[in-house]
Amino acid sequence: QKQRIEAVLAAGPIIPVISLHREEDAAPLADALLEAGIRVLEITLRTPAALPAIELLSKRLPGDVFIGAGTVTDPAAYRRAESAGAGFVVSPGITPRLLDYGLTANAPLLPGVATVSELMLGYELGYRSFKFFPAAVSGGVKALQAFAGPFPDVTFCPTGGIRQNTASEYLSLDNVMTVGGTWLTPESRVRTGDWAGIGELARESLASCKG
Ligand code: 3PG
């Protein structure tokens, strides 16, 4: 059954954006994040380990968890992500070909936009949810508040420059259901296999988003 991107964004307030250098880190990292309460994982296609990791995780994780592919920039990469089992796809920006492909793809697309004009290109094709990237340097919370005027029916997942201490400001906006970022999976902790530390960071981040 075709999943809608809204279901992915509604699953949890934080999406860890993960770059994996070793395929064998995928399972323990995902387990630590899930145990902490994370329900959506985005694995970026920036390393050779990404597709095998998506394939592995999509087979072994529970049905209420979403595994998606990030940093997808063209339809060929989109198809590779879908073949690996990605449940959703995230792009840092948009191209006409990518937006077209996403309309009929099995894995729904969360297209990346930084401006109103980019948003409108997606909007006229029917997209109503976007990644706002790079959020912090593209106007942050104030830009999202301004977007709500002309586009009250659009929701955003801001990503790029968001940290534990700024996530809740974004989540307090009506047009933000979830935020994404790499702060939950610091390279140094992944490299040393500090899964307990990563779980702790995810727990703290989720707690600060609720309070
Ligand atoms: C992304 O692709 O979403 C970004 O690399 C995340 O940005 P961050 O490292 O500032 O969280």
Per-residue pLDDT reduced to its tens digit, 182-198: 999 999 999 999 999 99
Residues 6+ apart with CB under 8 A from 158: 131, 132, 133, 135, 140, 144, 170, 176, 179, 180
Catalytic residues, which ones?
42, 131
- Ligand 1: residue whose CA is nearest its atom 1: 160
Please give the torsion angle defined by the CA atoms of residues 158, 179, 9 and 177, in that order, rounded to the nearest 10 degrees. -90
For a substitution probing ligand 1, which of 15, 17, 157, 178 has the most ligand atoms within 8 Å of its CB? 17
Token pair for 125 = 């094709």
Residue 112 bridge partners (DSSP): 131
Domain encompassing residue 89: 5-210
Helix ranges restricted to H, the chain: 5-10, 26-36, 50-60, 75-84, 96-104, 116-123, 140-147, 164-171, 187-191, 195-210
How many domains does the structure of the chain reveal?
Answer: 1
What's 148's domain CATH number? 3.20.20.70
- What is the number of the ligand 1 atom nearest to the C-alpha of 163? 11
ipTM: 0.91
Q: Model confidence over 84-111: pLDDT tens digits?
A: 999 999 999 999 999 999 999 999 999 9
Say which amino acid occupies 179.
V
Q: Model confidence over 18-54: pLDDT tens digits?
A: 999 999 999 999 999 999 999 999 999 999 999 999 9
How far apart are the CA of 131 and the centre of ligand 1, in A? 11
- What is the number of the ligand 1 atom nearest to the C-alpha of 44? 2
